[in-house]
Amino acid sequence: MPGATKQRNVRVSEATYQALRELAAESGEPLTVILGRAVERHRRERLLARANAAWAALQADAVAMAEIEAEQRLWGQTLMDGLEGVEW
């Protein structure tokens, strides 16, 4: 059956299940949709937390930041294309 997704069972606490049921009832969406959104949001939050930690570590490295700033200055020169006053 094309497009079919496999269903898996996941154990959750009673409180989590009740919260899922309330959210599903309130939104009119299936529990699986609510749970999927929650997992995706958590995944994105973790991704951003890792990215922020990596950026903070990079900022703490003066040599690396100097290299980045030098590269940004080089790329900044490409913005001077002589079209500043042209309306698009």
pLDDT in tens, 32-61: 999 999 999 999 999 999 999 999 999 999
Q: What is the mean pLDDT of the chain?
A: 90
Given this model, what pLDDT does residue 80 score?
A: 65
For residues 27-56, b (16+ Cβ closer than 10 Å) or e, as one string? eeeeeeebbeeeeeeeeeeeeeeeeeeeee
Q: Look up the pTM and report it.
A: 0.69
Looking at per-residue pLDDT, the higher value among 88 and 53 belongs to: 53
CA distance 46 to 52: 10
